Amino acid sequence: MPTFMDVHRNMTGITAEQLKAAHQADLDIESAERVHFEHAWADPASGSVFCLSNGPSREAVQRVHEQAGHPADEIYEVGFEI
C-alpha cells in the first residue's frame, strides 16, 4: 500500500496531549478507509503538524482526517525512502 506524508497548518501552540488526542482520533476510525497512521510530529511554534500513514489513496487519508475533525492541508505520496 502507498505511504503518505501529510501536513496540517495553523495549529500554532499545539501541545503533546492535543497531538496525541488528534492522532488517536485518526486511529479510532482509520480501518473504515483501510488507512493506518504510523506517526505524527508537531512544530508548535510554526503550527505545522506532519502525519505518516499507509493507505489506498490520498483521498482515503483525507477522509479519515476530515472525519476526525482535522483535515490535512497537503498530502504527499512518498515514492521511496533511503
When pLDDT is cut at 50, 70 and 90, the band that residue 82 belongs to is confident
pLDDT digits (tens, 9 = 90+) for 26-80: 999 999 999 999 999 999 999 999 999 999 999 999 999 999 999 999 999 999 8
Nearest to 5 by CA among 67, 80, 66, 69: 80
Distance in angstroms (rounded) separating the CA atoms of residues 6 and 52: 7
Other Cβ atoms closer than 10 A to 76: 12
Provide the pLDDT for residue 81: 81
Global pTM value: 0.94
For residue 32, give the C-alpha cell. 473504515
Give the residues across from 69 on adjacent strands: none
pLDDT at 68: 98
**Structural domain boundaries of the chain?**
10-78
Domain 10-78 -> CATH class? alpha beta
Indicate the length of the chain as a whole number: 82
